[in-house]
Structure 1
Amino acid sequence: MPAHTINPNNPPCPAYRASEKGTFAWDTSARRWPVILTSVIDDMCKAIAQESNQTKIAEGKTIVEGISQLKNDIEHDRPIRPIKEDGKPDVAVWNKQIATYFPNSTWFDGSWLYNECLMYRRLRELYNLSTLWQDYDPFLSQKNATFKGSFGAVFELAHKFSNLIDVNSEEDGQVMFHELMQVCLWGNAHDLSLLTNMSQEDIRNLQATGKEKLEEQEKNIVVNDLDKVWNRVKDLKNARIDFVLDNAGFELFVDLVLADWLIQTKKASKIVFHCKTVPWFVSDVIEDDFPILLDSCLQPDFFASESPSQEDVTALKNLASRWQQYIKEGQWVITSHQFWCTGLAYRHLREEAPELFDDLANNSQLVFFKGDLNFRKLTYDCKWPVTTPFATALGEDLNKNFTSICSLRTNKADVICGLKEGQQEKIEQTVSPLVWRCGGKYAVVQYSSGRE
């Protein structure tokens, strides 16, 4: 397909749409979105009940009414509408896209990727139109609760990495890097927008950091470019490495453990963390989540209900204190950009956010894209033949202008590429497509070497 015909409603291959009953896109739109919005209503009602400011109470009730209306519109597959003028700079961009690409679309027959992002932007519209709730994160309590529930893996990693790292050989470095990459990969299981599909036991198993467990889980990485990524990383020295982040809480914690390792081993001298600008997809990282996580690690009573030992508390404090120092000294940079909160695939990065594109293309030696949503946006969330090379799915702009890209993703949506001939058929001899593509228990680590 010629590049000029590709747009949000016309990807390189057919888009996934919720209008196809029985598909994962349909299940997400018909079942999971209303569950998420109901959870936000519950959170708002609790927050309102704790307020004494009558103006804020009234505004909170208006927001709840708006969420209920949004939920009702989705459940009845009503037409999508433009974003109301809520004072934010992205309104005109969204509305131009809706008018151009989705003028007659409903919540189910537009592209699943775009509509899912639009739902979160419509939710934020309700807060933006208020005066006293604009900075409120309705997902914060869920993010904190699930991080607290990850205490076992948190303390295990803290004990292992709280002291300065001593890597005696390249082989030792490779082993440690592989382990950290897997922990970062499976940490993505803690996606609160999909938590209704997984039990707490499933999540704990995926978070397990023991060597034997990781070796077992590696069998479920259906495209595994870990060695290619290591071959890139081992030759880096004092590089800039970027993380386009996914989930807060435990996944952010393990991303920081990997970033710490990259700094200590002098593979990187600067790490740039890219956050969302607003609460997004329930558990995605916003800039405020960084100080919240670090403060939680430094507070002795945050995990108090789990009875950590003094040794646990000290190890975690040492780790978090070192991370605070990285931020203070500018070795870690925390930033956000409006582009990450659009409905667009990343093929549109250069045209929509040229300064962000140029910065990543010209200044970063390696960009990690974390999680399922980033993978969907990297590959345009469409029905690629499963053997399509990752570089083809990325598109020429990203593949030939970025130095190197690594996507770490547990599979929670249909889109997949990079499989070997016959691999899909072999996988599906023992597991259904819905499970290995969408269940969060299989994964990919995919790498593009980018420009020479």
Structure 2
Amino acid sequence: MKSEGVVRGKSEGARGITPFWHSPHAVFIGKENEVGHIRHPRVLTVNWESARFSNKLRLMTDHPAPVRTDGSNAFARRSMAERLPGIFDEVLERNPDYPPGIKHDVRALRTAIVEDAPMALFGPPAPDHDQWARRLAPREGETWLGTDWFFAEVFAYRHLLAACRYWTTRRDPFRPHKNEELHSEALRDAVGEALAVDGSLRERLAHRLLNCLWGNRMDLSMEGVAAQGTSAEDEHLLSNDLPDVVDDLMAGDAGPVHLIMDNAGTEEAFDLVLADLLLDSGLAPTVTLHVKMTPVLVSDVLGDDVYWLLDVLEDHGGTLAELAGRLCGQLRDGRLRIVPDFFWNLDTPLRNVPSRLEQTFADAALVVSKGDANYRRITNDALWPPEATLSDAAGPFPAPLLALRTLKSDTLVGVDPDTRARLDQQHDDWRTSGTFGVAQYAPWAGGVRVCRCRDDTEIPVAPE
């Protein structure tokens, strides 16, 4: 590596995509690698005389727009118009003791979506009201079936919480779904098999990372995907950067690891098995579990779900109870942490991660983004050119980033065009069936999200 110093950033972006940090207006303070590209940029300085910005600063000056529910993307339209109303019907079926008022409001929400009514903000007070008001404002007048899909989807789930009086009752409308998964024999057996895998530390780490990937199939909002289970063929892994991830974790200094979690149940259990290995082996001094603040997308993990799973594992006895005991001890010691945040309930792109989380990630050895919804957050839920990479999509990010995801929506980067063309010929639904997966790694996806003016004033870029 060359010495620390001021170097002008230059890197190859995807064809037709020009992130600002690839432009001649950007100067990085960081380390330059052997081919003259910036590997670990930490500060971005802007030549304000040559750069041109809108009054809303962004590092990505040109990136694809998110897919919409208006029929331009068939899967998004079907998911919003058919699958989501079906899920709301299931909520009422699995919660038969809901009072008449809640049942009425859930049905009214379902009807509004099916009939393509204009979206409106739920009423205050609520702790996340202002955040949603800011997200809705640019879409004023748009309808449920005529807007950005990721926004419409998570906003509909937030409306469901309002209909179910969540902040009054604190009752998770998806708890019956989660209960079946957490107490299933399949979960018990899968965790037992994962713990039984022997070998060197490197081999066990690689195996547990792979478990975390295929565990993402256990999505309670998509029964057809979950039915495939957690076993997969080599050909199902379309992009595999796990050897690089293992190399970096094994070779580098031990540093904090962060898991941005997805589904409760089997996938959650695999995440905890990975966390246990990282902590027990000394590969990470701390592991932080980033979870949703409120229920969303049926099976997404809440803080309470982690403790619930630990209780279930303890009740099984044997090696599963021993795992639960170690994890409970790590929670008590502060080495394992659970951090809920409203950010993960929104549709906000990862490139707009708020400073409270960015500062948390700044010293991480690795941040693992789990699942399809978090992948959509990385890619802005957009259809990128075939040449685009995870780094292109993620933009600036303060730590090494690993995305583990089974494909359940159309957005995708980092898979070579020949593979895409072959799968297009073989499988109509390969992007959405959950059969295929990716393990994609950006050793450093960008720099600290600060613009430094000529007078050394620092301006946060793209705030939440």
Deviates more, 1:317-326 or 1:269-278: 317-326
Q: CA deviation at 1:142?
A: 0.8
Structure 2 distance, partners of 1:393, 1:272, is 24
2:348 paired with 1:344: yes
Q: What aligned pairs does 1:74-93 form with structure 2 within 5 A after superposition? A: 74-85=113-124, 87-93=125-131
Quick one: which of 314, 318, 327 aligns to 2:318?
314
Structure 2 distance, partners of 1:192, 1:294, is 19
Q: CA deviation at 1:129?
A: 7.2
Relative to 1, partners in 2 of residues 1:237 and 1:264: Cα closer, same or farther, differing over 3 Å? farther
1:293 partner letter:
L
Deviates more, 1:173-182 or 1:328-337: 173-182
| TM-score under structure 1 length normalisation | 0.82
Quick one: which of 287, 303, 310 aligns to 1:271?
287
Quick one: which of 52, 62, 84 aligns to 2:101?
62
Residues 236 and 268, structure 1, Cα contact 8 Å, conserved in 2? no
Q: 1:251 — aligned with what?
A: 267
Structure 2 distance, partners of 1:152, 1:193, is 17
Question: Which runs of 5 or more residues in structure 1 are unaligned?
Answer: 49-59, 209-213, 301-312
Q: CA deviation at 1:429?
A: 3.1
Structure 2 distance, partners of 1:73, 1:341, is 21
Q: CA deviation at 1:234?
A: 1.2
Quick one: which of 19, 27, 38 aligns to 2:78?
27
Q: 2:379 — aligned with what?
A: 379
2:175 paired with 1:161: no
Relative to 1, partners in 2 of residues 1:389 and 1:122: Cα closer, same or farther, differing over 3 Å? same
Structure 2 distance, partners of 1:108, 1:282, is 20
Equivalent residue pairs, number: 393
Q: What aligned pairs does 1:223-372 form with structure 2 within 5 A after superposition? A: 223-300=239-316, 313-349=317-353, 353-360=354-361, 362-372=362-372
Q: Secondary structure at the match of 1:269?
A: coil
Q: Secondary structure at the match of 1:188?
A: helix
Q: CA deviation at 1:424?
A: 1.1
Quick one: which of 436, 443, 452 aligns to 1:449?
443
Structure 2 distance, partners of 1:199, 1:259, is 23
Structure 2 distance, partners of 1:342, 1:81, is 16
Q: CA deviation at 1:385?
A: 1.2
| TM-score under structure 2 length normalisation | 0.80
Residues 376 and 411, structure 2, Cα contact 8 Å, conserved in 1? yes
Q: 2:402 — aligned with what?
A: 406
Q: Secondary structure at the match of 2:338?
A: strand
Q: What aligned pairs does 1:211-230 form with structure 2 within 5 A after superposition? A: 217-230=233-246
Residues 411 and 439, structure 1, Cα contact 8 Å, conserved in 2? yes
Residues 83 and 95, structure 1, Cα contact 8 Å, conserved in 2? no
1:261-299 CA-to-partner distances (Å, cap 9, x unmatched) read: 111221111000011000111000000001111111122
Residues 143 and 249, structure 1, Cα contact 8 Å, conserved in 2? yes
Question: Which runs of 5 or more residues in structure 2 are unaligned?
Answer: 1-17, 21-53, 448-464
Residues 236 and 267, structure 1, Cα contact 8 Å, conserved in 2? no
1:79-137 CA-to-partner distances (Å, cap 9, x unmatched) read: 1012211x2232122123312x1012100111001111101111122344774x2x100
Structure number with higher helix proportion? 1
Identity between Structure 1 and Structure 2 (%): 27
Structure 1 distance, partners of 2:307, 2:62, is 38
Q: Secondary structure at the match of 2:89?
A: helix
Q: Secondary structure at the match of 2:285?
A: strand
Q: CA deviation at 1:6?
A: 9.2
Q: 1:114 — aligned with what?
A: 151
Q: Secondary structure at the match of 2:289?
A: strand
2:180 paired with 1:176: no
Relative to 1, partners in 2 of residues 1:329 and 1:166: Cα closer, same or farther, differing over 3 Å? farther
Structure 1 distance, partners of 2:207, 2:226, is 24
Deviates more, 1:437-446 or 1:335-344: 335-344
Q: Secondary structure at the match of 2:251?
A: coil
Q: Secondary structure at the match of 2:178?
A: helix
2:121 paired with 1:44: no
Structure 2 distance, partners of 1:154, 1:109, is 42
Moved over 6 A (4+): none
Relative to 1, partners in 2 of residues 1:69 and 1:317: Cα closer, same or farther, differing over 3 Å? same
1:37 partner letter:
F
Deviates more, 1:241-250 or 1:416-425: 416-425
Structure 2 distance, partners of 1:129, 1:371, is 25
Relative to 1, partners in 2 of residues 1:77 and 1:156: Cα closer, same or farther, differing over 3 Å? closer
Structure 2 distance, partners of 1:125, 1:75, is 18
Residues 240 and 269, structure 1, Cα contact 8 Å, conserved in 2? yes
Query: RMSD over aligned Cα, in angstroms?
Result: 2.3
2:67 paired with 1:16: yes
Residues 249 and 365, structure 2, Cα contact 8 Å, conserved in 1? no
Residues 279 and 286, structure 1, Cα contact 8 Å, conserved in 2? yes
